[in-house]
Structure 1
């Protein structure tokens, strides 16, 4: 099988490529390598897979020096002509689209970036899959689409018509666009609503990274909603397992779909939405205590109110993902956080 994985200089994409390489699949990775956060970390992820920084050139496929079945391309999804050329040459079997402008708070100050990357870029992916058909398109959505919903756990059968950030709105738009292309052109599409992902090689803008950095410096950490946040923290290895189980099982029409009472998470066309999380929400304070334990150092805390665009709690209903694929998240918080803090101390030589 030949896979295109976008966002491979990013956190989740990096780990997905690692697992596909280990499986012996043929993989092309793609990333624009933007400066939303430290690009040196992005280059380090690429280097880990045998892609040297000095060899990277926009629009040029580079072969890995470590893995003969892996190649990398620096490309912006907004460059439709180059993307179409790539699809025409490579004829991918499966596309896993993880490239996106991430971050809820950043969308409050840079809304245009989200339209550029998450909407126009995703449209170009859909167009490429239309003209150069694939067996399956799997793409990243987000738990943020649940927005103002308060019924727990969040279910893909729930309405998600009340996003509270442009990031969330852009991710819901991806689901709507994917359904349209599944309906019009028969492209099997599966959207994955990720719930707070953490682990080694994680994103510097995420809480775990920020907490670890501040605690080691002896600086106070910002604890929003006065520590009363709950998050469905999900370890990266469990997330990757779920992504690949889904990728191996192309979306199919729901034979029981009722057009009079439609289920938002499925369709009469080859379209499916899954939550992908741990399904065991953790209090933010307990998460912080796990970081303290991993570092052997106590945190100083600034207790702050809930931030605009944030939700106080998240909890994934993953029953259909478990039923359909056998997905089973198995990493306890203390174990996962310890894996991250060990990586952080090693990577930054603390």
Structure 2
């Protein structure tokens, strides 16, 4: 199978290519020429994500994994015009695929379509979505609806994967995960806001690779799936586990004066196990162990 991957040089895209190369013929689509890596297993193509350039890049492909998106931007959470570009881009992808005869598409959606203050815990794909977590989540939800439209009216087979918060080496700087690991590696105290009661639900980036592959091969009538670890974890427990894995035991400071996020995120993956036949391979402990191994072997990190 010849598979095109949008956002191929991004965080998840890089892992996906690494995980699928040698098993499939891959076409990596990106708008940034400077990030095109010379690999014999991958044919990289530049695209501005207009329909014209996409149709040219997609010719001959049998399936598409759509990862390209504008992620949440600090300070611009209230500007929907920024995130509306995700809908425009996704519309161009779906329409281009329809025009060149590609029906098998996997779309990377997000946990942000759910809102812990509106949806019951755990989040289920059958939940009614009234208020998404943020405008980024709203853009992803609109894309999911667009996918269902194309499936219904054009007989396409677009699957949407609602990804939990993604964990892995190479994730953007400044988020809690990367900040905790960086500080633990430097034997500095991890700063936990308040008492660290809030809970997050994560998925290891390597598990996303297996989920995408399952979705590409899936023939189920179900088209929306939660992709997450089996369990969520509190901020406090996460900090303690990071310190355990990176040998920074008991080095935590609780900033009680700082307002903590006490929301709880938990995604039910029962539906995913049943209809996608996908099961996460990594819990948080083993994901962090694997990240430590990558940092040691590939980035010269030495405990």
Partner of 2:197: 228
Asked if 1:130 corresponds to 2:91, the answer is no
Q: Secondary structure at the match of 1:190?
A: strand
Partner of 1:142: 110
Q: CA deviation at 1:306?
A: 4.4
Q: Could you report, residue by residue, the CA deviation over 1:197-255 in whole angstroms, capped at 9, with x for unpaired residues?
A: 21233333442212122344566655356411212222222222112111111453xxx
Task: Go from structure 1 to structure 2 and tell me whether the alpha carbon gap of 1:75 and 1:250 turns closer, same or farther (over 3 Å shift).
Answer: farther
State how many pairs are aligned.
Answer: 297
**Structure 1 residues without counterparts, runs of 5 or longer:** 53-63, 253-265, 267-271
Task: Go from structure 1 to structure 2 and tell me whether the alpha carbon gap of 1:155 and 1:344 turns closer, same or farther (over 3 Å shift).
Answer: same
Provide the alpha-carbon RMSD of the alignment: 2.5
TM-score, normalised on structure 2? 0.88
Task: Go from structure 1 to structure 2 and tell me whether the alpha carbon gap of 1:337 and 1:94 turns closer, same or farther (over 3 Å shift).
Answer: same
Asked if 1:283 corresponds to 2:234, the answer is yes
Partner of 2:224: 273
Equivalent pair of 1:200/1:339 in contact (CA under 8 Å): no
Note the 1:306-317 alignment, pairs <5 A: 306=260, 312-317=263-268
Comparing 178-187 with 206-215, greater Cα deviation is found at: 206-215
Note the 1:318-333 alignment, pairs <5 A: 318-333=269-284
The whole-number CA distance in structure 2 between the counterparts of 1:312 and 1:251 is 33
Note the 1:1-350 alignment, pairs <5 A: 1-23=1-23, 25-33=24-32, 43=35, 51-52=37-38, 64-65=39-40, 67=41, 70-77=42-49, 79-87=50-58, 90-103=59-72, 105=74, 107-108=76-77, 111-116=80-85, 118-147=86-115, 148-217=117-186, 221=190, 223-224=192-193, 226-250=195-219, 252=221, 272-297=223-248, 298-303=251-256, 304-306=258-260, 312-350=263-301
TM-score, normalised on structure 1? 0.77
Q: Could you report, residue by residue, the CA deviation over 1:75-130 in whole angstroms, capped at 9, with x for unpaired residues?
A: 232x332112223xx232111101111236454166433222x1111110011122
Comparing 243-252 with 210-219, greater Cα deviation is found at: 210-219
Equivalent pair of 1:97/1:137 in contact (CA under 8 Å): yes
The whole-number CA distance in structure 2 between the counterparts of 1:101 and 1:225 is 30
**Structure 2 residues without counterparts, runs of 5 or longer:** none
Q: Secondary structure at the match of 2:236?
A: helix
Q: Could you report, residue by residue, the CA deviation over 1:309-346 in whole angstroms, capped at 9, with x for unpaired residues?
A: xx811111111211123211132212211222332355
Q: Secondary structure at the match of 2:26?
A: strand
Task: Go from structure 1 to structure 2 and tell me whether the alpha carbon gap of 1:33 and 1:287 turns closer, same or farther (over 3 Å shift).
Answer: farther
Q: Secondary structure at the match of 1:180?
A: helix
Task: Go from structure 1 to structure 2 and tell me whether the alpha carbon gap of 1:135 and 1:111 turns closer, same or farther (over 3 Å shift).
Answer: closer
The whole-number CA distance in structure 1 between the counterparts of 2:61 and 2:186 is 46
